[in-house]
Amino acid sequence: MTERSVLLDIPELHLTVKNHGGSVEHFHHFLLGFLVPLVCHAKTTWLNPGYRTVLVRSCGPMDGILRQLQSTRLGIVDKAEHARLGKGRPRLGMMLKGVALGNGDRRHMDLRGYDYPVVYNARAFAKAQAGLCEIIGDEIEAARATLERKFAPAAPKIVVIQRGEADPFYLSKAAEARGAGAARRSIANHPQMVEEVSQGLGPVLNLKLEGMSLAGQIALFSSADMIIAQHGAALSNLIWAKPGARVIEIMPRTMPKEIQDVGFFSNLARCKRLPHAFVWQEHDHAAVDPLAVLAAARGI
């Protein structure tokens, strides 16, 4: 029997990972709504030798993170083609999450994400972190060692996240939801804020996450003692934060009330049992009072 005929005896798996809102082409909904369930079920899907290929939809720029998993069995398919391939999947599988159904050359499985506060799941986040440590642990430890050289010795590890330039994809017609990065929100006096926070609290590591590897983001957030960031997807990385890490979220007052009420990141901090405080700015691109940041940091 040839190798090709043996492979044809092994089915492929069409995997649908359904998030709860927004677009998985954006980092928050991708990380919590797509990657976490994908990693939690890795051993029964794309790390399972019982499938020759596991087909998932393209997540736009987030596909780069999927490729960092370095799996030859994980196949990324254009979202329209992925939807077409899934049209005939059994309805029962849409209810029985994590169960593979079907026969012949293809099986179908549905998973559900954790990208909305009512479904945040600390156990799932911990399982995903443990799974990624198994898969890309060497990369995470290498990134952690590099970070250690950037932090001041014998001082709290304080991280400030600066929003960077968005991938041009988010301005294109191909994007499911347009806009990202500094074009969506920014802090007008970011350098001044960082300088005054450094003087008041100690050395600060100011970073942009755009272009940083998944391993680097896990290493950063699992090392930090305090995280200061404007409301945005970067704070989704709180799922990696170590116990007791303090979180300062800078929230524009002009943010729609329904977004404020949902509390994406305040509830994520609560899920992880992390101290959290808001600092308000007048609008999406306004200056922020550094004294308010210092007061919030000292108060939690």
Residue 129 lies in a domain: no
- Structure confidence at residue 8 (pLDDT): 56
Cα 23 to chain center, whole Å? 12
Domain span holding position 48? 3-115
Residue at which a domain ends, from 115, 131, 151: 115
Residues 87, 154, single domain; the answer is no
Flag whether 132 is in a domain.
Answer: no
Task: Report pLDDT for 1.
Answer: 42
- pLDDT at position 6: 44
**Amino acid 257: pLDDT:** 86
Same domain, 66 and 179: no
pLDDT in tens, 27-78: 999 999 999 999 999 999 999 999 999 999 999 999 999 999 999 999 999 9
Structure tokens at 90: 């059994």
Is residue 25 within 8 A of residue 66, CB to CB? The reply is no
Residue 86 lies in a domain: yes
Q: Are residues 70 and 156 in the same domain?
A: no
Statement to judge: residues 149 and 244 lie in one domain: yes
Residue 176 maps to a domain? yes
CA gap 40, 19 in Å, rounded = 14
Q: Write the burial class of residue 78 (CB in 10 Å: 0-12 exposed, 13-18 middle, 19+ buried).
A: exposed
Is residue 120 included in any domain, yes or no? Answer: no
Q: Could you say which residues of the chain have pLDDT below 50? A: 1-7
What pLDDT is stored for residue 5 in this prediction? Answer: 40
79 and 36, same structural domain? yes
Q: Which of 115, 149, 175 is the last residue of a domain?
A: 115
User: Can you give the pLDDT at residue 91?
Assistant: 82
147 & 104 share domain: no
Q: Total domain count for the chain? A: 2
Please indicate, yes or no, whether residues 195 and 63 belong to a single structural domain of this protein.
no
Phi-psi category of residue 100: left, alpha or beta, with phi > 0 → left and psi -120 to 50 → alpha: beta
Choose one of 67, 100, 115: the last residue of a domain.
Answer: 115
In a domain, 81, yes or no: yes
User: How long is the chain?
Assistant: 300
Express each pLDDT in 140-173 by its tens digit.
Answer: 999 999 999 999 999 999 999 999 998 899 989 8
pLDDT at 92: 83
Examine residue 250 and state whether it is found in any structural domain, yes or no. Answer: yes
Q: Report in angstroms the alpha-carbon separations of 62 from 27, 31, 57.
A: 7, 9, 11
Alpha carbon distance 236, 164 (integer Å): 16
Classify residue 247: in a domain, yes or no. Answer: yes
* CATH classification at residue 273: 3.40.50
Does residue 106 share a domain with residue 32? yes
Tell me, yes or no, whether 61 and 101 share the same domain: yes
155 plus 108 within the same structural domain:
no
Backbone angles phi, psi at 12, to 5 degrees: -95, 160
